[in-house]
């Protein structure tokens, strides 16, 4: 066997090994689908914060009315 043939054979093995490792790495990186997207989660949190703010505002208005009546 010629030395060039041996190097060619090793190069082919290295190329296939690289292809295999790249394929398995991509398979492992596959992301799982989350039940809710980050945008939906942010909107939900903002809506909850806004509802909390509204209820606190109403409570403060009622407290001020109570202070003015006393």
Question: Rounded to whole angstroms, how far apart are CA atoms 39 and 1?
Answer: 62
Question: Rounded to whole angstroms, how far apart are CA atoms 43 and 62?
Answer: 29
b/e per residue, 33-60, with b = 16+ CB within 10 A? Answer: eeeeeeeeeeeeeeeeeeeeeeeeeeee
pTM above 0.75, yes or no: no
DSSP code for 1 = -
Residue 69 sits at the vertex; the CA angle it makes with 64 and 70, to the nearest 5 degrees, is 100
Tokens linked to 38: 């980050």
The string of pLDDT tens digits covering residues 15-68 is 999 999 998 887 666 666 777 788 888 999 999 999 999 999 988 888 887 766
């Amino acid at each position: 066997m010629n030395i060039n043939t041996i190097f060619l054979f090793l190069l082919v093995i290295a190329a296939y090994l690289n292809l295999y490792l790249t394929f398995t790495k991509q398979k492992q990186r596959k992301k799982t689908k989350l039940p809710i997207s980050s945008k939906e989660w942010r909107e939900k949190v903002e809506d909850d914060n806004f509802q909390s703010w509204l209820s606190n505002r109403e409570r403060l208005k009622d407290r001020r009315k109570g202070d003015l009546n006393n």
